[in-house]
Chains A and B, each alone.
Chain A
Amino acid sequence: MGDLKASGKAIGMSEKLFNKILVANRSEIAVRVMNGCRVLGIPSVAVYSEADVNSKHRLFADESVLIGPPPPSESYLDIGKIIEAARQTGCDAIHPGYGFLAENPALPRRCVQENITFIGPGAEAMELMGNKIVSRKKMEHAGVPIIPGMKSGETSLAAFKAAAEEAGYPVLIKAAAGGGGKGMRVVHAPNELPASLEAARREAKNAFGDETVYLEKYIPDPRHIEFQIIADNYGNCVHLFERECSIQRRHQKIIEETPSVALNDELRYRMGEDAIRVAQTAGYTNAGTVEFLFGENGSYYFLEMNTRLQVEHPITEFVTGVDLVVEQIRIAAGLPLSDYLKHLTQRGHAIECRIYAEDGENNFFPSTGKIIHYSEPVGPGIRVDSGVEAGSEITIDYDPIMAKLIVHAPDRPMAISKMIDALHNYKLLGVKTSRRFMVDVLQHPEFAAGHTYTSFIEKHMSDRITDQATYKEMAVAVASVAAMSTSTASVLFNEGTTSAPSPWQTLGSWEIGDSIHA
């Protein structure tokens, strides 16, 4: 035993990087960060709102501090309360997760004043990348490709003609105040330009009350491809390859994978080098993600940099074997990049499916309620990052992401079939999800062929329906047996129970009453 303990120390326990880390977030990402803290032997502190008294992240942490009422502005977004909680519990570092304060430079700035380490980039780099226009200009100067187009507010037809010639047809006219496709026009040839410009202005004026439009190169069938980078405080920066996140609904990713079928070694090398150039130009430290729009014939354009850990970071962890949270903590503690980060390869293929509280059969309409059954798939190469369990209440207060299902397999076809099986065996009742929708995406021949463009769902999934009647008899058969079984009967009698589940109980067992604990 003594020997085992000693060897444990030798692989990292001896150098405790921080006394205690406060995780300024909730749900699945808070739990994920606390896992990284555990690996390094560092105690973690959760903050929670009154809505999260029984939440998994609070009960998972070594300590927890109540920071206020449910509205985020009075709890998870209140920097003063976060700092106060860190002080009160003796934390010398704060990890922001993603969302909430993760990209607010006021938090790292305040941390510097308070002599607390912020586990993430410095405020300056965060601020620079937060300004999309300034950061794109700066990266263009550094030689990183950006979407060609107008850079000034010129309004004459001649200026638009010149800009279109320079960018090359087809071009896209976009409303400056824009969004939602309004005031947008694709122009394929010079003779279409005057009429399209007029129409786009009219539409923009009607939709946004502002007729200002600009022009940029139109990228048909784009993919969203991003690169994970990590940089230490001494100027060393590496990338951890790409993630393709083209499968999106409502401009929000739901399925991500790595490697991308669109990249070959040469493109991967060039984009990776450009991602590192972006990070170094910004003076970036810690983990971050450089997003590119990927067009035809291997063209790609810098979009923006996300100055935090990403929702989809687990697929990178699967193919590289790196624990990104652990590396973030090591870098924040002042260690140089670990040597193994400089010799990474991509091993196999990983896919992530996001499990949102939404109705995949009805326009992804948000779904709320109590989770009355929860069980996760297990097996080689299956990972679940979850912030919920049986008994969790999904309310309207917070982001609807409940969990992420991630699989790893030797190649893409095997990863796809493993994910389909994992989605079948991920069981969640009481709140609607898009699991069946994602199964249908994964089973689509165009997905198998790797034709994963950002228009995928709009193009291939808009006519899709699930014929529930196919399952009618099977559902009735199972419900008939369920109605007779003891555990279900006890649920009947426990109806309306509000007792809080403990994460230490077996998953999903809470609804079985004390009477049948044998």
Chain B
Amino acid sequence: MPKHEFLFNGESVESSVENHGKTFRVTVGERQFEVCPLGNNLFATTVNGRKRTVAAAFNKGVFYLDIDAVQLELQEPGEDQFSGAAGDHSAEKDKIYAPMPGKIVKILVAVGEEVSEKQPMVIVEAMKMENPVNAAAGGRVKAVNFKPGDQVDTDSPIIELEIPQ
């Protein structure tokens, strides 16, 4: 009986799958689901007596799912589980990254400045909108690597912090 493990918002969730011809019976905790692959990333499953079509596709360590217009992500556990998703720098609290590629509108802090958690650090313009990016932890600004007008991607730290241990 194949077993699977996924991470849902960092929480490990396990499942076991039994094959019954065209359909699969999946046990997740206390609940059981009949799942039938329909092809083209689509699956049918019955919940509360109602059949639903669910889309599921895998890309770069993440399962993307669409259930009743709700979009969910499950991560594959593994050695690189925290950097699996592209652009996921959530573990690096000492670096400020752009949430999406864009243009730097304003740098709100200077090297040497003490900053607190959730303080806006930089404003990045993308898709005609200005998006403030906040510090994930308090500390002191160690480096500012870009200036207003620069284009940034999601993998180059804009600002680096020194976080007291």
Q: Say how far B63's CB is from chain A's closest CB, in angstroms.
A: 4
Q: Say how far B113's CB is from chain A's closest CB, in angstroms.
A: 26
Question: Binding site of B, secondary structure by majority: helix, strand, loop or mixed?
Answer: strand
Using Cβ atoms and an 8 Å threshold, which residues of chain B touch A480? 2, 4, 6, 15, 17, 24, 26, 28, 35
Interface string of A423-438 (1 = CB under 8 A from B): 1111111101101101
Given contacts A366-B131, A484-B17, contact A474 B100 (CB under 8 A): no
Given contacts A373-B57, A396-B126, A495-B60, contact A477 B100 (CB under 8 A): no
**Distance of A444 Cα from B150 Cα, bound (Å):** 43
A109 close to B (CB within 8 Å): no
**Distance of A20 Cα from B9 Cα, bound (Å):** 53
Using Cβ atoms and an 8 Å threshold, which residues of chain A touch B39? 487
A378 close to B (CB within 8 Å): no
Count of chain A residues with a beta carbon within 8 Å of a chain B beta carbon: 57
| Residue among B2, B6, B100, B101 making CB contact with A476, cutoff 8 Å | B6
A508 close to B (CB within 8 Å): yes
B40 close to A (CB within 8 Å): yes
Q: Which of A464-503 contact B (CB under 8 A)?
A: 466, 468-469, 471-485, 487-488, 491-492, 495-496
Q: Say how far A367's CB is from chain B's closest CB, in angstroms.
A: 8
A269 close to B (CB within 8 Å): no
**Distance of A232 Cα from B52 Cα, bound (Å):** 48
B91 close to A (CB within 8 Å): no
Count of chain B residues with a beta carbon within 8 Å of a chain A beta carbon: 52
Q: Which of B4-24 contact A (CB under 8 A)?
A: 4, 6, 8-9, 13, 15, 17, 24
Whether A427 and B66, one on each chain, are in contact in the complex, defined by CB atoms closer than 8 angstroms, is: yes
Using Cβ atoms and an 8 Å threshold, which residues of chain B touch A366? 100, 126-127, 129, 131
Q: Say how far B128's CB is from chain A's closest CB, in angstroms.
A: 8
Given contacts A473-B31, A477-B26, A479-B63, contact A368 B57 (CB under 8 A): no
Given contacts A366-B131, A375-B40, contact A476 B60 (CB under 8 A): no
| Residue among B6, B8, B42, B59 making CB contact with A372, cutoff 8 Å | B59
Q: Say how far A250's CB is from chain B's closest CB, in angstroms.
A: 9
Using Cβ atoms and an 8 Å threshold, which residues of chain B touch A468? 9, 70, 72
Whether A475 and B67, one on each chain, are in contact in the complex, defined by CB atoms closer than 8 angstroms, is: yes
Using Cβ atoms and an 8 Å threshold, which residues of chain A touch B134? none
Using Cβ atoms and an 8 Å threshold, which residues of chain A touch B15? 476-477, 480
**Distance of A430 Cα from B66 Cα, bound (Å):** 10
Shortest Cβ distance from B17 into A: residue: A480
**Distance of A471 Cα from B66 Cα, bound (Å):** 10
Whether A428 and B72, one on each chain, are in contact in the complex, defined by CB atoms closer than 8 angstroms, is: no
Whether A491 and B58, one on each chain, are in contact in the complex, defined by CB atoms closer than 8 angstroms, is: yes
B139 close to A (CB within 8 Å): no
Kindly list the 3 A-B residue pairs having the minimum CB-CB distance in the complex, ordered from nearest. Answer: A427-B55, A477-B33, A366-B127
User: Could you list some 30 contacts between A and B, CB below 8 A?
Assistant: A368-B100, A373-B55, A396-B100, A400-B127, A424-B52, A424-B68, A424-B69, A427-B41, A427-B53, A427-B66, A429-B56, A433-B71, A436-B69, A436-B70, A439-B69, A475-B65, A476-B4, A476-B26, A477-B15, A477-B35, A478-B33, A480-B15, A485-B37, A487-B41, A488-B56, A491-B57, A491-B58, A507-B40, A508-B41, A511-B57
* 10 additional A-B residue pairs with CB within 8 Å, beyond A373-B57, A476-B26: A357-B127, A366-B127, A368-B126, A375-B40, A399-B127, A471-B65, A474-B67, A476-B13, A476-B28, A478-B33
- Chain A residues within 8 Å of B, Cβ to Cβ: 357, 365-368, 370, 372-373, 375, 395-396, 399-400, 423-430, 432-433, 435-436, 438-439, 466, 468-469, 471-485, 487-488, 491-492, 495-496, 506-509, 511-512
